[in-house]
A and B are shown apart, each in its own frame.
Chain A
Amino acid sequence: MTKVFRRDPRHERIQRNRLHPLHLVNQSQASVASSGTNPRTNANVLLSSRLPLHRVDNPEFYIVVVPEMSGGRLTSADKDMLGLAQQLANGGLAHDRMDGQKIEGPIFEDQAPERCGAVLAVVFTSIKDDRFADAGVDRLLDLSLFVGEGYQPEYQLALLLQAEKQFAPRYWLFGDQTMNSADLGRRLAARLDERAATGVVEIDDNWIWCRAGQSGNEYRRPHERILLVAEQIADPVSNYRYQASPVVLDVLVREVAAPEMTPSVQPKIEDLGLVAVDPGSVYLVEAEFVLAGGNGVTDWPLFHQVATALGATEGASRVAVDDGNMPRSTQVGASGTLVSARVYLAVGISGAIQHLQGMTHCDTVIAINLDPGCAMVSRADLSVIGDSSKIMQALVDSINRGESESRVRELTGFDREQAKEKWDDAV
């Protein structure tokens, strides 16, 4: 590659013109383009490379965050928690309770680097999405290799205690109202014999505010070292990119060198794995996949058949319930249940505003309807215009066909395995 600096007049013109459609894209490519390499086109890469890097080389102290990590990804509550951790690490909480106004965030360039702490994220599940640098993680302690899948709180607690010894964090942050993170936080507090603050809803430089159960009151109390914070405790980070450089526990390095030196944990809890749950018995509120039927459904036995075939929890619109086709407990909407399903399949529901209110938290909506102009179709990510009975019949048929095919495939796969074993024995 030649080192000759080449001017691109068009690019410069776009850079000067803030209103040009390519202005933002080109701005981020400015350094890349002038160095002569091919500009990358991935939007996420562009977005993150535009942000300045926040470096912490010699952290004075650590803030340890244990994110919940649902499905190998940071949840939105985890990102809020990391946002709070960055505020704590860089000496300035953004909220000021007294006048209710936001104070400008810390300016990293002006601060002496030794005043900064580092945010350390401890992750026990295998990571699927590598967005730690954008979420505000300075150091990443990935223990997923040492902890297998499943419920192993005792071993995880032992690892956290080692992290406590090695890093001596100024704060431990856990998510309250979570499955694993809150459990670990309470275990750690009990083991260290420290009083953890739970249900933290607000925090400033002097005080923290904690929920007092369901009584509608809150306690104002001094800071604690172990905090179990509620959702939306702080805004997630957005101004900087972070290092997310991996760190290791010294103990584990030593253990690899000499496994017999470290005492092993005797687990009292053994995970026997997930239990198959009948989707019909799952509460409509917490169901992951809801199949809802409305006035457009004419064949209700077929509807139940589809729900069984898809493994979906059944819901209904008000009309279907009023007509006596579905029980009242399945009604979705303002006067029924507010569902939080990830996928919502609406059959023959036109989408009255009361019904749409009940499904505001659904991520993906699929509609099967005769009327292409109805509100449900405009809300849906995928809409199929047609007769509900025919489409439901086709759904049942294709799933049953798929099942029989996969069974055949399993059988042949099994035969192949057996043949391979025989071959191995023979060799």
Chain B
Amino acid sequence: MLCEPLQIMVLVSTGMHSLTGRPCRASLDAQAIELALQQVGALIEVVNAGNAGDSEQSALRDYLGMGIGQVTVLKQPEFSDPVSALAQYVNEAEPDLVLCGEQAEWGEASGLLPYLLADQLGWAIVPHIAGLVGVADGHIELLQALPRGQRRKLLVKQPVVVTINGAAPQARQSAFLKARDSTINLLEFEYDSEHESGLELVADSELPQWQLQPAKQRPKRLKIITAKTAAERMKAAITVTPGQAGKVLQDTSPQQATEAILALLREEGVLK
């Protein structure tokens, strides 16, 4: 092939199993790896920023089991900000495309990291991506997932940070042998900025001060009744709203019934 292979970097985080709460692969990040693996002839590098403890390593093994060969870990102490370290690493690696999930599964889970990364690097950021259509002379064509199952095509200048929506292709299973035999590269960095090649670490000063507590159940509002007087409340209780009693067409010909149905569908705007 004449053209250079597409260089894809996938940023992964540690997920949380929805049932047991144990560390595992994050589903959106796994979908990002799946999307990268589906690109024929692309060079893939998987990067994680974390403290690389035992639990995190077991989660990383889940990613390795997808057949990516190795994963690079930028080792950081707890409560440190991964953005600057990642930005520096990505800037040196110079990939064409950075993929990551939209939101983490635990922790602050603000979904801000890709935006901060793109802002620091001066790259474009495109959220809610469900697929890659193609690459052409420094531009990349992406498929963005919209509500109601709709899709939008976007042409974006490389390099670009892309966040993956749940509508992207489902991640493949993790294979035990591949997970066991693959390698985890640890890159360690320290807080002092003496050696210039090392990545600078920034501590997150705010997060430790926040109070983490079990989520409170909040009542869900079902219906707003703004009646102030007893008469209004009585009226609201006894009147039949149009939604409760629909129109019934009985003893009509199929053609008339069809016309009525199609008219309603056109009125709702679902029929083109």
Contact = CB atoms under 8 A, between A and B. Distances in A.
Interface string B243-259: 10011111110110111
A18 B229 contact: yes
B172 interface: no
A147 interface: no
B68 interface: no
A219 B160 CA distance: 31
B156 to A, nearest CB: 5
A19 to B, nearest CB: 6
Contacts, number: 234
Interface in A205-220: 209-220
Interface in B148-174: 148-157, 160
B106 A213 contact: yes
Interface in B223-255: 224, 226, 229, 231-232, 243, 246-252, 254-255
Contacts of A189: 112, 115
Pick the most buried of A189, A282, A394: most chain B CB atoms within 10 A of its CB.
Answer: A394
Interface stretch (B1-9, B180-188, B262-270): B262-270
Given A186-B115, A214-B18, A381-B246, A196 B265 contact: no
Contacts of B264: 364, 366, 381-382
Interface in B84-111: 103-111
Given A198-B110, A343-B268, A394-B257, A179 B18 contact: no
Interface string A166-198: 000000000000010011001101110101111
B195 interface: no
A210 to B, nearest CB: 8
Given A212-B106, A268-B160, A383 B246 contact: yes
Contacts of A23: 231
A326 to B, nearest CB: 19
A349 to B, nearest CB: 15
A194 to B, nearest CB: 10
A236 B223 CA distance: 12
A258 interface: no
A218, A365, A368 interface centre (most CB from chain B within 10 Å) = A218
A246 interface: no
Contacts of A385: 248-251
Contact of A342 (B215, B248, B270): B270
B105 A215 contact: yes
B268 A342 contact: yes
Interface string A263-276: 00000111111110
B149 A286 contact: yes
A339 to B, nearest CB: 12
B247 A383 contact: yes
Given A372-B250, A383-B249, A394-B254, A214 B212 contact: no
A275 B152 contact: yes
A287 interface: yes
A89 to B, nearest CB: 21
Interface residues of B, number: 78
A349 B76 CA distance: 58
B157 A268 contact: yes
A238 interface: yes
A212 B21 CA distance: 13
Interface in B109-140: 109-112, 115-116, 118-119, 123-128
B138 to A, nearest CB: 11
Contact of B148 (A211, A216, A287): A287
Contact of A186 (B111, B215, B268): B111
Contact of A218 (B119, B216, B272): B216
Contact of B243 (A190, A310, A381, A390): A381
A371 to B, nearest CB: 11
B257 A391 contact: yes
A391 B254 contact: yes
A380 interface: yes
B261 interface: yes
Interface of A: 18-19, 23-24, 70, 151, 154, 179, 182-183, 186-187, 189-191, 193, 195-199, 201-202, 209-221, 232, 235-236, 238, 268-275, 277, 281-283, 286-289, 310-312, 342-343, 345, 363-366, 368, 372, 377-387, 390-391, 393-395, 398-399
26 contacts: A151-B152, A189-B112, A191-B119, A193-B119, A198-B109, A199-B110, A202-B216, A210-B108, A213-B104, A214-B18, A214-B105, A215-B109, A217-B215, A218-B216, A219-B108, A232-B221, A238-B224, A269-B154, A269-B155, A270-B154, A282-B148, A310-B265, A342-B268, A343-B265, A372-B248, A386-B252
